[in-house]
Amino acid sequence: MASSNTASSSSTQDTTSHTDGTFSSSPIPSSLKFLMHNIKNIATNTLTAENYSLWRSQVQKLFRANGFEGFLTGTAAAPTSTILSGSGQQIPNPDYNTWISIDQNLAAALYSVISPAILPYVLSIDHCSEIWRTLDTRLQSNTRSRIAHLKNELHFLSMKDKSMTQYLLDVKSKVDALAAAGAPVDVEDVIHYTLNGLPNNYQAFKTAIRTNMRSVSLDELYTLLCSEELNLAHETIKDLQALNLAGNQTALTAGQGRGRGRSSQSRGRSSNRPQTTSNSLRGTKQSRPSITCQICGKFGHSAVKCWYRHDDNYNSEPTPALFTTPTHAASSEWFLDSGASSHLTSDPNSIQQPQQYTGSSQVILGNGHQLPIQNTGKGLLPTPSGSLQLKNLNLVPNLSFNLLSVHKLTHDNDCLITFSSNGYTIQDRKTRRRLLTGPSINGLYPLLGPNRPANYIQKLALISVQHVPDLWHRRLGHPAASTLAVIAKQHQHIHVARLDCESCRRSKSHRLPTPRSESVTTHPFLLVHSDVWGPFPIVSNNGFRFYVSFIDDFSKFSWIFPITQKSDVFTKFVEFQKFISRQFNTNIRTIRTDNGSEYINSKFSTYCRATGLVHQTTCPYTPSQNGVAERKHRHLIETARALLIQASLPQHLWVDTILTANLLINCLPSPNTLLKSHRP
């Protein structure tokens, strides 16, 4: 009984407040009850992968305010589970039981503010500090990635077709998300991002804000932006009202050929042009804006401020009238022909700068007849908004109708042609402005003049294409020239010429060609190429299985270093750079390698940063980008193999042979001369 009283007395004497590192005998202190009761009211949002920084700050402050931060950080360590009684016996430690009670209650409180998506990460963990440490390990890196992603989204955020209110809400949501992730954005940066995302019609507003001597708060900026949106909308309504008032005066000007038009109705000679007087504009502004939009064709604004600038489906109205070149009645009609490889005409007046055709190509009609080409040159296709260029226009005297090659027309003028069962439309590819429209008559797509009736064209079956040497080669699936020659002997209309087919070369290639590098070095060691070759199947007499090469891009002078393993590359490179620095009194500026681990490692990267060396690497699985080193390997190996075979040497002397081959290659014109300015 005495020992029991002693233990009880000892337990009572050791009981102090839990705030100083020891623990009360009370199983649930009042501060713990307060924390458990209010934790959901303070940390209102449960923990997710997106709000870890905010959640962590709220929970840690709550634990600290109630004296339990040590349970989170691990500084409030667990007491021993047993203690010695006065008689020297092991008995349960009351402080340990109290510590366990507090720790488990705190762990349960943490569970209550963790979302179901994160909870499986910590369900198997027993103590509060371990839960806290696990959450920090798993979510801290995710928070950094989210911050980088949010900053990128904020940088590229733009207003586009949103309202100003919606755009400002988007900016605020990104800024709030960054603040919740622990990376608040400075007010000046928020203003910078907001202004950058505005469209071009806010350019004057952006300039005024950026040049203002007084800093603008976010609230002021938002108010000014909403006001500017209303002002721009009001100006747009005024422009539309002015356009509607002047619509009758401008509706027909596009089809009359005024200005530099080539039509017979130009210079105001048409009797159909409406006569206007100053009375028609009475009560309006006397000076109407002369600028015309290149997109919608309306007056009063430019393409930069056009509402339809980003609308790919918009077509301006009214539709401009089609043209004709009334020279010869029998040959003035033009037809769009998707089977023609060049423009064809029988009218010599349609060709500008004609030159006599000296080629062997002919025009083959659908019935097999061939027509000779007399001249070739250029032409113009007038439209109400300008002229389309006909760069490859051939004169075929016996041709009944003029043919426009769809491919050449779209290629030379950067335009689009849309065909349907009812007709066709020619549009500018960039602005989507409608240039020409026409009907479909009897299965053909003619370009009718304004005075030509629609029933003028009778039923025709006209298919014409200019003969090119590889036409039948393409039609028959790219056969060999010998096979095509056999077919040509049986069919006279098939012509065979020397084939130079790009499609055949590309289809038979095992790898697509790499574009030739256009970079040129002007001095030695501005760029050095490096690569490792090996392992050789036979170890050399010195124990080497690899070698590393360094090639100067300017002179193509190369240095070879035998190595036993790839990890020796870094040591050899340091030796090589010291050699260049001492012997040539210069430093290597840039080194280009592949992505091998012998180059991509911490030692190599640290050395490059410390010495200011630029390290360029090729794209993955693209050795052709390091072609100088790859071709040098092939040259060295082929030369060394020839020396071994010639001298009947054993293969374990391959290192000495490669060093000899490298010496001989450097002495040949002109690496040695370019590098050392004298002949070897």
What angle do helix axes 128-155 and 94-112 make, rounded to 10 degrees? 30
d(CA 211, CA 207): 6
Handedness of CA 199, 204, 207, 211 (dihedral sign): negative
Handedness of CA 395, 399, 402, 407 (dihedral sign): negative
3 state SS for 223-256: HHHHHHHHHHHHHHHHHHHHHHHCHHHHCCHHHC
Handedness of CA 204, 206, 211, 212 (dihedral sign): positive
Q: Which of 534, 554, 556 is nearest to 545 (CA)?
A: 534
d(CA 593, CA 583): 23
pLDDT of residue 456: 42
Higher pLDDT, 265 or 418: 418
State what percent of residues in the chain have pLDDT above 90. 19
Lookup: tokens for 395: 């004169």
Q: Which of 72, 81, 64 is nearest to 19 (CA)?
A: 64
pLDDT (tens digit, 9 = 90+) per residue, 550-584?
999 999 999 999 999 999 999 999 999 999 999 99
At residue 122, φ and ψ (nearest 5 deg) are -125, 5
pLDDT of residue 346: 84
pLDDT of residue 570: 95
SS3 call for 8: helix
d(CA 34, CA 32): 5
Q: Evaluate if residue 614 carries a pLDDT over 70.
A: yes
Radius of gyration over alpha carbons of the chain, in Å? 42
The DSSP call for residue 429 is T
Candidate from 13-27, 140-154, 564-578, 644-658 with smallest mean pLDDT: 13-27
Q: Which helix (H) or strand (E) holds 151?
A: helix 128-155
Of 42-56, 155-169, 415-429, 569-583, the range with the highest mean pLDDT is 569-583
3 state SS for 342-409: CEEECCHHHCEEEEECCCCCCEEECCCCEECCCEEEEEEEEECCEEEEEEEEEECCCCCCEEEEHHHH
- How many Cα atoms are found within 13 Å in the side-chain-facing hemisphere of 490? 4
CB 630 within 8 A of CB 623: yes
What angle do helix axes 187-196 and 218-245 make, rounded to 10 degrees? 20
Lookup: tokens for 303: 């393409």
Q: Could you count the other beta carbons within 10 Å of the beta carbon of residue 191? A: 19
Q: Measured in whole angstroms, how far is the alpha carbon of residue 49 from the centre of its chain?
A: 28
Higher pLDDT, 527 or 320: 527
pLDDT of residue 546: 96
d(CA 668, CA 275): 85
Please report which confidence band the pLDDT of residue 427 belongs to, taking 50, 70 and 90 as the band edges. confident
DSSP 510-574: SSPPPPPP-----STTSSEEEEEE---SS--TTS--EEEEEEETTT--EEEEEESSGGGHHHHHH
pLDDT of residue 311: 57
Mean pLDDT of 208-219: 78
Higher pLDDT, 344 or 399: 344
Lookup: tokens for 667: 């002495």
Mean pLDDT of 323-351: 68
Q: Evaluate if residue 464 carries a pLDDT over 60.
A: no
Q: Can you tell me which residue has the tokens 């290639």?
A: 509
pLDDT of residue 569: 95
- What order of strands is seen across the sheet that includes strand 446-447? 352-356, 375-383, 386-395, 343-345, 402-405, 334-337, 446-447
CB 155 within 8 A of CB 216: no
The DSSP call for residue 299 is B
d(CA 308, CA 568): 63
Handedness of CA 522, 525, 527, 533 (dihedral sign): positive
Lookup: tokens for 318: 């009214």
Q: Measured in whole angstroms, how far is the alpha carbon of residue 585 from the centre of its chain?
A: 42
pLDDT (tens digit, 9 = 90+) per residue, 622-631?
888 899 999 9
d(CA 561, CA 565): 12
Q: Evaluate if residue 531 carries a pLDDT over 90.
A: yes
3 state SS for 46-82: CECCCCHHHHHHHHHHHHHHCCCHHHHHCCCCCCCCE
- Bridge partners, 559 (sequence order): 550
Mean pLDDT of 238-250: 52
Q: Evaluate if residue 593 carries a pLDDT over 90.
A: yes
d(CA 398, CA 561): 74
d(CA 439, CA 449): 12
pLDDT of residue 172: 85
Q: Evaluate if residue 253 carries a pLDDT over 70.
A: no
Q: Could you count the other beta carbons within 10 Å of the beta carbon of residue 459? A: 8
Candidate from 299-313, 460-474, 486-500, 531-545 with smallest mean pLDDT: 460-474
Q: Evaluate if residue 457 carries a pLDDT over 60.
A: no
Please report which confidence band the pLDDT of residue 465 belongs to, taking 50, 70 and 90 as the band edges. very low
pLDDT of residue 203: 84
Q: Cα–Cα distances in Å, from 508 out to 471, 475, 504?
A: 20, 18, 6
pLDDT of residue 83: 82
pLDDT of residue 580: 93
d(CA 223, CA 217): 10
Q: Evaluate if residue 79 carries a pLDDT over 90.
A: no
Lookup: tokens for 56: 């962590």
SS3 call for 506: helix
* Long-range residue pairs from 102-108, CB within 8 A, at least 24 positions apart, any chain: 102/18, 102/23, 102/28, 102/29, 102/32, 102/68, 102/71, 103/71, 103/78, 103/127, 103/128, 105/28, 105/32, 105/36, 106/32, 106/35, 106/63, 106/68, 106/71, 106/72, 107/131, 108/36
Q: Which of 499, 489, 503 is nearest to 469 (CA)?
A: 499
Please report which confidence band the pLDDT of residue 454 belongs to, taking 50, 70 and 90 as the band edges. very low
pLDDT of residue 247: 45
CB 154 within 8 A of CB 141: no
pTM over 0.85? The answer is no
pLDDT of residue 437: 82
Q: Evaluate if residue 588 carries a pLDDT over 70.
A: yes
Q: Could you count the other beta carbons within 10 Å of the beta carbon of residue 135? A: 21
pLDDT (tens digit, 9 = 90+) per residue, 499-511?
778 888 878 777 7
Please provide the average confidence, as pLDDT, over all residues in the chain.
Answer: 77
Q: Evaluate if residue 632 carries a pLDDT over 90.
A: yes
